[in-house]
Amino acid sequence: MNKPLLKMTDLEALSQAAECLRILAHPHRLRMVQMLLQGDFTVGELAEACEIPSAMASEHLRLMHRCRFLDSEKVGRKVYYRVAEPHLGQIMTCIESRFGDGSASRTG
């Protein structure tokens, strides 16, 4: 029996993808992305929503910025963050459909 030709991504590209997914795989970072998909927010606003210190929020944002998930813009003395990676919306939709609406307590 003939097997279909498999579509395979280059391993170096998959390695980069895995690194960025590891960075995204944190509850505070996912919450920040969830917020940023709905608008631009400052470090302080994101920190407050995640109930963490601003310094910790800044570190999370730095990591996501390094993977080019986010952009930032300084307006006066405040820095606003926004989503730069258009595919983050699809990733969050997948996460929310699987784990949203209290389904985190369910198994399977």
Count: domains in the chain: 1
**Do the beta carbons of residue 90 and residue 61 sit within 8 Å?**
no
* Assigned token pair, 42: 């400052």
Query: Which pLDDT value is given to residue 101?
Result: 67
User: What is the CATH number for 72?
Assistant: 1.10.10.10
pLDDT above 60 (res 103): no
pLDDT in tens, 54-101: 999 999 999 999 999 999 999 999 999 999 999 999 999 999 999 986
CB 36 within 8 A of CB 82: yes
Q: Does 2 fall in a domain?
A: no
Q: The domain containing residue 31 runs over which residues?
A: 24-100
Residue 47 located in a structural domain: yes
Is 52 within a domain? yes
- Going by pLDDT thresholds of 50, 70 and 90, the confidence category of residue 3 is confident
